[in-house]
Amino acid sequence: MLVGQKERGIFINGEWRESYSGTYRTITNPATLEKLTEISYGGKEDALEAVEEAKAAFPLWSKKTARERSTFLYKAYEKMLEHKERLAQILTSEQGKPLSESRTEIESAASYLLWYAEEANRVYGEIIPSSKANRRSHVIPHAIGVIAAITPWNFPASMVTRKLGPSLAAGCTVVLKPASQTPLTAMEIVKIFEEVGLPKGVLNLVTGDARAVGEALTQSPDVRLITFTGSTEVGRELMKNSAQHIKKLSLELGGHAPIIIMDDAKLDVAVDLTLASKFRNCGQTCICANRVYVHKKIADSFVEKLVTKVKNMKIGNGNEESTVIGPMIDRNAVEKAAEHVEDAVKNGAAIASGGNEWDGDLAGYFYEPTVLVNVNDQMKVMNEETFGPVLPIDTFDSVEDVIEKANQLPYGLAAYVMTESTNHVFKLTEALEYGIIGVNDVFPATAEAPFGGIKESGFGKEGGKEGIHEFVEMKYVSIGITE
């Protein structure tokens, strides 16, 4: 493990180096507050150099055959799985989630490399039957150019490969800026690409100050697309700043997912899936349940069963196999969860479980898994993304009523429905204004399906055949045939 040393967090044109400013940032373990390492921290100059090198590498990389590009992705996929345990440990140490979740994340991250190694070979153009005898109309796919990928701390591996897989497969070259709190996993992924011999300049990494690096990436006319995963607030800022050069954007933003539990749902399954959705990664998942709507007829038994299980969840250091609830990412995250609980209680909610910072034997950022009942639509927790282990439970008595409640926020990332009725499946999935809907399934993200939100949760897709098309432009070529 990388304990104690200084690390070069900047990789440009095949070289690991320090930042121009010489600045370093300390990376800590959020469970123990131990210092893991110090990472050189870049700024505008580093980002602009990375763009320049990515631009220089683009002609050769984009002209390689799809088969050649996919070979690098296959090799990186295999290496990632080969190093799964080590990568999972690094991920847990900097991000905090339980090791079992980190292992699953590394597998999932690798699966995006495999999927796009395959999809690289399936980006087709078109020949359109022409309306004129002496004209031929061709549509030719073309890699968009240099792209910038900006990723969050909550899934430090899979959010990176979900962008690297399709962009590299399409023939783009990349400047990656990972979250400042979790750069170590991203650095390991870049090292894997280095090991498999990816040509210099194709993938560049700039760990650094968000505002300075972000400004350089949005202001540069050479960056043709920004693919961003993070908060709606920062997504909005990137959109504004990208207007000058009419840059293409793909935005995977925040959410506020409802789970709707119909009276015909299998109760035990609904309880287990709700727990899995809410509390994985300590509630710090963009698609995790932020509010539950349970049918009045089954509400009491649902709450009773759920609370019994929540009280038995083991809180602790993610590196212990028995831990179910790890730390939150930082002090601000704990304070936000506490603020949502306080606001709910002040406005009439009752705490059915938890409701406090964890008083355990670790120095890190812990908050108890918390269940709130008697909630209403005015509370913060029902309107703002909590991004923590707090589960508010509301009730409803008609399908129409719950559809209205579920759709009333500006977010549209993921929603869930627990039901055994086909009628409910169709009524709800057709009416819910969300980009991803899980029916009796709370883990919908997978490499082969298009993942992405609508409304203020963003636009663009990651995963599926759609994911690679974000990085491809269709060039229309009209050919006149002369006599």
Classify the phi-psi angles of 466: left when phi > 0, otherwise alpha if psi is within -120 to 50, otherwise beta: alpha
Residue 110 or 399 with smaller CB distance to ligand NAP: 110
Q: Indicate the burial class of 475 (C-beta count within 10 angstroms; 0-12, 13-18, 19 or more).
A: exposed
Q: What angle do CA 300, 302, 306 make, to 5 degrees?
A: 120
Q: How many DSSP H helices and E strands does the chain contain?
A: 14, 23
**Residue 47 binds ligand NAP (CB under 6 A):** no
**Residue 242 binds ligand NAP (CB under 6 A):** no
CB distance 411 to 436 below 8 Å: no
DSSP-derived 3-state class of residue 10 = strand
Residue 149 or 299 with smaller CB distance to ligand NAP: 149
CB count, 10 Å around CB of 406?
Answer: 24
Candidates 165, 214, 364, 460: give the one binding ligand NAP (CB under 6 A).
214
**Residue 385 binds ligand NAP (CB under 6 A):** yes
DSSP-derived 3-state class of residue 48 = helix
Site for ligand NAP in 96-135 (CB under 6 A): none
Q: Considering only the stretches 136-144, 189-197, 226-234, 391-399, report the one whose residues sit in contact with ligand NAP under the rule CB under 6 A.
A: 226-234
Record the tokens describing residue 453, joined without a space: 């939100």
Candidates 27, 31, 253, 375: give the one binding ligand NAP (CB under 6 A).
253
In eight-state DSSP terms, residue 336 is: H
Residue 94 or 385 with smaller CB distance to ligand NAP: 385
- Please give the Cα distance from 230 to 236 (Å, whole number): 10
Q: Considering only the stretches 173-181, 350-358, 436-444, 470-478, report the one whose residues sit in contact with ligand NAP under the rule CB under 6 A.
A: 173-181
**Residue 21 binds ligand NAP (CB under 6 A):** no
252 labelled catalytic? yes
**Interacting residues of 334 by C-beta distance below 8 A, sequence separation 6+:** 328, 357, 365, 366, 367, 388
**Residue 252 binds ligand NAP (CB under 6 A):** yes
**Residue 180 binds ligand NAP (CB under 6 A):** yes
Question: Angle, to 10 degrees, between the axis of helix 210-219 and the axis of helix 232-241?
Answer: 40
Order across the sheet with 135-143: list the strands. Answer: 126-128, 135-143, 472-480
286 labelled catalytic? yes
**Residue 414 binds ligand NAP (CB under 6 A):** no
Residue 218 or 370 with smaller CB distance to ligand NAP: 218
**Residue 231 binds ligand NAP (CB under 6 A):** yes
Record the tokens describing residue 105, joined without a space: 């994340």
Element (H, E) at 35: strand 35-40
In eight-state DSSP terms, residue 187 is: H
* Partners of residue 143 on adjacent β-strands: 472
**Residue 453 binds ligand NAP (CB under 6 A):** yes
Least separation in angstroms between CB 116 and ligand NAP: 17
Amino acid of residue 440: N
Closest residue to ligand NAP in the complex (CB): 214
**Residue 19 binds ligand NAP (CB under 6 A):** no
Residue 53 or 94 with smaller CB distance to ligand NAP: 94
Candidates 35, 63, 86, 211: give the one binding ligand NAP (CB under 6 A).
211
- Site size toward ligand NAP (CB under 6 A) is 29
**Residue 391 binds ligand NAP (CB under 6 A):** no
Give the interface with ligand NAP as residue ranges (CB under 6 A).
Answer: 150-155, 159, 177, 179-181, 210-211, 214, 229-231, 234, 237-238, 252-255, 286, 385, 387, 413, 453
